[in-house]
Chain A
Amino acid sequence: MFGGLKEKLQAARNRLGSSIEGVIVTQGSPAPETRTGEPAVSTASQKTISSEVPTFVDKVKILIIDRELIVSEKDLSDALSELEMTLLESDVALPVSDAIIASVRKNLVGKHRKIGASIDALVVGALKSALLDVLGNGFNLVNYIQTHNRPVKILFTGVNGTGKTTTVAKIGAYLKKQGYTVVIGAGDTYRAGAIEQIGVHAERIGIKIIQHQEGADPSAVLFDAVQYAVSHKIDVVLADTAGRFHTKSNLMNQLEKIRRVMKPDLVVYVDEAVAGNDAIVRAAEFDRTVGADAVVLTKADMDSRGGAAISIAHTIGKPLMFLGTGQGYEDIMPFDPVQVVEELLGSDA
């Protein structure tokens, strides 16, 4: 998973590396000739050394005296645009990739770099910190449940077809395996077959489900689910809802009502890892109207390059909780940003 991005990023990394290497070669050669003139200008250049744009004299001076190089914006522009393409091809939304590139540029430009120091480390460091910055910390659901009053109520939201129902089933199975008792509320009362779908899942994994018939008020269903959990001392309530587009204000209002009625501890926003630029639009809109405390990305097994993870995390600044990685109940994994970034950039670096 995310293998594509890893490969791409490594290619870009090599390019960045070689671009900086190129700088050394080109700047290294004229250095000996200017060396004789160096003492004369050194006093004058001393004053300007802290200015933002290093002059040629500064560069030479730093090269000679400190044995360091200054990485300039021009040196990076080619490699950075390559990196930008890479991010875009990996489904990182345009504004987000702009922000990442800007951060990498800011981190690299103007940096003094020891001639002997590893170029790789410099580039990887910048990329890594940019990506970690964006991805934030993961979200540990088990820790959360342990430290909060039972029942912990989790509401799942998202647009149509992202895999909310399947995710609810998977998380139910995951929590059950961790030794928690779980009840599912079948809050998707709109889509034909949705109640049957979650019902079959619940039966297969052996979890109690609270359901009304099709067309019922989802708030009522989920309220009942919470009541059931309270009276039966169940640890976790997983509330499924119907998929809805952020543009449909009546459906968003309905979601607002659900939130008011069942008072969830966590609102989990579910989206698919293969989503493109729209991911940021809808994530922002869901976050704005009903809030989101954590994110689950589904369909990460579709050879996805993980761009959506970066886009969404960057846009709403909420931690990723799980990745859905297949059709089985066990195909879900907790999201660990450090691990993912290590995986993307290669742990050897």
Chain B
Amino acid sequence: MLDNLSTSLKDALKKLAGKTVIDRAAVEDLVKDLQRALISSDVNVKLVMELSKAIRTRSLDEQLPKGTNVREHVLRIVYQELVRLVWVSTDVKLEPQTILMAGLQGSGKTTTTAKLARYFQKKGMKVGVICADTFRPGAYDQISTLCAKINVPCFGNPLEKDALKLTREGLESFKDLELVIVDTQGRHALEADLIREIIEINVISRATHRWLVIDAALGQQASEQARRFHEAIDIDGVIITKMDGTAKGGGALSAVAETKSGIVFIGSGETIEDLERFNPDGFISRLLGMGDLKALVERAEEAIKADDVDVNAMMKGKFSLRDMYKQLEALNKMGPLKQIMGMLPMGNMELPEGVYDVTSTKMVRYRIIMDSMTAGELDDPALINSSRMQRIARGAGSTLDEVRELIKYYKMMQRTLKGLRGGGGKFNMQRMMKRFSGMK
């Protein structure tokens, strides 16, 4: 399902991959590709512009979290902004309630109504369906056939022309049931009579929820239609249908932005069971045409927690045992040292092989040994003489040799970091950055 567009988005992200300083031009590129991705997923153009503005500003203004590269940083922002948009808490409570279905013609309201009835029925609720579609021929036949398949009572009368009367009578006859879904006829915002009708149905039914059903393929009209529906009956949830096609559902994103509500369910198939609760990660990945967004963001988030590795201090050569301790701690979360070094700005400097030559069991031993040191010793390892060494070894239950080895390892790390800084100071740093961004 990935098309050229997502490839170009990926290319743009790749450009950012190794960067450790925010490159304005690269961010601009990415934002542009992002815009194209979102627009071709049918997200409202104005919304895309607002979104990309926020993303651009945040990417350029926010400090790059330590231990992440620009790509992860920007991706995280993109992801957060999108989630913020779609992820309004839409708890579906299993309590007595009335749900009013609204939507354009052919968006899939009736099918979704049956799917919802099935969903709540499976959760153990007593469900009833009212067919208030008095216009489309065969509407009652359709919903009653579907309801009969799942043994849900369906109230309706194909000969009755008054939707309000049907709703009233239906609610009356279903007053013992816990959950009633009112299916309505398809309408669009410019049909004033029909909008008036649904306002009245909403009043009569005193619906707990008013859900707007949106076809995944709906384009730029989604915003406008959602806005008008929202004005009429105060939409509090959106259901996307037909997600089993190739449409990306960007219209639904416009709709939730417009109604300040969230996406409740996703319909993705023709059988009555094909209804899922909304999952923002899958949806956003699909919008952007990128499958691995969540994982990428999670990695970035993880790395941020390694905040405590104070890179700047280390670069200044102030590398104490305490720093090393933090590093070892972070290591547990992030995997091999080599990989951590890859995330840090000095990334691909060729560190002596010995630095990496520390097995994870040794790491644990080192930490235990350091736990037996005093704060003073951690901050200033020069304090550690042989008598202190003996104390530490006894406290940690290790041998003197192990403590010596730790000190040796520490000194090697310190030397390496000092070497990184080198004589050239700033110039050297820049050269390093360049080298770093040059590689993947």
Contacts and interface: CB of A to CB of B under 8 A. Distances in A.
Given A272-B106, A276-B217, A303 B40 contact: no
Interface string A307-346: 1100000000000000000010000000000000000000
Interface stretch (A105-113, A125-133, A254-262, A277-285): A277-285
Interface residues on A, range: 35 or more
A162 B142 contact: no
A41 interface: no
A66 interface: no
Contacts of B36: 94
Main secondary structure of the interface of A (DSSP, over half): loop
A62 B251 CA distance: 49
Contact of B142 (A194, A245, A301, A307): A194
B138 A247 contact: no
Interface in A21-75: none
Given A159-B245, A272-B106, A303-B189, A308 B219 contact: yes
B106 A275 contact: no
B406 interface: no
Interface stretch (A116-124, A135-143, A174-182, A196-204): A196-204
B104 A302 contact: yes
A275 B105 CA distance: 12
Contact of A274 (B104, B108, B246, B248): B104
Contacts of A150: none
B188 A245 contact: no
B146 interface: yes
Contact of B246 (A91, A160, A201, A246): A246
Interface stretch (B57-65, B220-228, B318-326): B220-228
A276 B218 contact: yes
A304 B219 CA distance: 10
Interface residues of B, number: 47
Given A277-B248, A278-B216, A302-B221, A193 B142 contact: yes
B45 A307 contact: no
B137 to A, nearest CB: 3
B122 interface: no
B142 A161 contact: no
Contacts of A274: 104, 218-219, 221
Contacts, number: 146
Given A163-B105, A307-B219, A299 B188 contact: yes
Interface in B275-313: none
B41 interface: yes
Contacts of B142: 191-194, 196-197
A154 interface: no
A125 B352 CA distance: 69
Contacts of B220: 88-91, 276, 305, 307
A5 to B, nearest CB: 11
A308 B215 CA distance: 15
Given A274-B104, A282-B245, A193 B42 contact: no
Contacts of B139: 193, 197
B299 to A, nearest CB: 30
Interface of A: 85, 88-91, 93-95, 159-163, 190-201, 214, 245-248, 272, 274-279, 281-282, 285, 298-299, 301-305, 307-308, 327
| Chain A to chain B: the 7 pairs with minimum beta-carbon distance, closest first | A276-B219, A193-B142, A197-B138, A200-B137, A161-B106, A276-B42, A278-B247
